[in-house]
Structure 1
Amino acid sequence: MSRPTPRLARLAAWIAIPAALVASGIVVSQASYSAYSATTVNPTNNWTAGSVALTDDDNNTALFTASNLKPGSTGTNCIAVSSTGSLPSAVKLYGTGAATTNGLSTYITVTVTQGTGGGFGSCSGFTATAGAANTFTGTLANFASTYTNYSNGFGTWAPTGATQSAPSESRTYQVTYTLSSTAPNTTQGGTASLGLTWEAQNS
């Protein structure tokens, strides 16, 4: 086989160079190509749960610590309960931890009334809320067995939810007790106790 002449070899080299440049240009063109684009963004989304919150003004002190009672003994006290939660709710009152000896709780009559004004230690300025559903009158034993949890609790208070301009809403509960004048001799030395719980649930 004959070898190409020097002139033909040089011509072939010159022809190869442009072909290589063209191929390289295609690669560069493809690598630098960029499509148009556009985006739109919704700012960061946030979720915050509302709250249901109750406080009272008793300073962790019982409404009554009544001792040495006799037939006809009576007493009255008030307690203010405040709602500071952001959600609308319904508030109910019920008894907890009922206990008695000598049947004393069946001879103590209690009246519980929902209203406004007054507070713990003084019912001065208290005004009852109208309506039979806002007053209970019966024995201590009856209150304890009737109002045992939120679902059957006493009261009609429905806070609308705290706002910046109205950060809290309050109701006062007036409680009066009387040991029946007909309490039998068997109740001597007897005891009765009952805790009061206010619970709010959002509506």
Structure 2
Amino acid sequence: MGVNNTSRQAQPGRHRRLARRPNRARLIMLVGLLAVGGLRLWEPARAAFTASTQNMSNGWSSGTVTLSGDTTSSVFQLVGLTPRSAAQASCIRITYTGSLGARVRLFAAASGVLAEYVQFSVDEGDAGGDGDCTGFSASGATFTGTLASFAATFDTAANGFGNFTPPASGANRFKVYRIATSVRPGTPEYLQDQSASATFTWQAQSP
């Protein structure tokens, strides 16, 4: 009788193990449905409509700043000067042909022991040029001093001499500069057979 009772008690445990299998099947089916459902949710996003527009052929180009003088020869080549020599004057026309408005300034570099004793003046005006000052009338900046002091004061374009500001187009795109020079009275005797030299530069810079 004891053996039979043991056999009967073991039967319910086996039934419980068998009863769990349908739950695993349901879980596998649920995961599969979720995966399929995820694919279905994602598919409409792939089918979205789009539109775009373009603005093409954009480009950039720089303007020009162009400056020229009416002579490439020296404004002065004076020899045999004395403190009693008459003042000499020469005019040069500077023309601007750039496509941008600009600021034009004159600066100088001077050398030689005589530079301290060369009387020197510069005037801006609107007539004359190519060495000839006929009809010249001052109508702008002016300087009077020595060649050495002019070069020391106006030594770069940043602090250059003048008020010439030509526009990008139209009239008034030139300026005439009259340069006058002489040897100062009272120049010492030891400066006989001495010299001075200078380079004048006009530079245009856009705003």
Q: Same fold (TM over 0.5)?
A: yes
Matched, 1:142 2:149: yes
SS in 2 for 1:110: strand
CA contact (8 A) 1:71 1:183 kept: yes
2:101 is matched with 88
Structure 1 unmatched ranges of 5 or more: 1-35
Aligned-pair CA distance for 1:41: 5.5
Matched, 1:112 2:119: no
TM-score (norm 2): 0.71
Among 68, 71, 76, which residue is 2:83 paired with?
71
Aligned residues: 160
Aligned-pair CA distance for 1:72: 2.5
Aligned identity (percent) is 36
Matched, 1:45 2:58: yes
Partner Cα distance (1:150, 1:51) in 2: 18
CA contact (8 A) 1:84 1:167 kept: no
2:189 is matched with 185
Q: Report the AA paired with residue 175 of structure 2.
A: R
TM-score (norm 1): 0.72
Matches within 5 A, 1:127-138: 127-130=137-140, 134-138=141-145
Aligned in 2, Cα 1:78/1:192: closer, same or farther, shift over 3 Å?
same
Partner Cα distance (1:112, 1:72) in 2: 21
Q: Which has the higher helix share?
A: 2
1:26 is matched with none
Partner Cα distance (1:71, 1:125) in 2: 28
1:195 is matched with 199
RMSD over aligned Cα atoms: 2.1
Q: Report the AA paired with residue 163 of structure 2.
A: T
Aligned-pair CA distance for 1:46: 2.6
CA contact (8 A) 1:79 1:120 kept: yes
Aligned-pair CA distance for 1:45: 2.4
Matches within 5 A, 1:117-128: 117-128=127-138
Q: Report the AA paired with residue 188 of structure 2.
A: P
Structure 2 unmatched ranges of 5 or more: 1-48
Aligned-pair CA distance for 1:198: 0.3
Among 47, 64, 73, which residue is 1:61 paired with?
73
2:17 is matched with none
Aligned-pair CA distance for 1:44: 2.2
Partner Cα distance (1:82, 1:72) in 2: 35
Matched, 1:158 2:171: no
Bigger relative CO (Cα 8 Å, ≥ 6 apart): 1
Aligned-pair CA distance for 1:184: 1.6
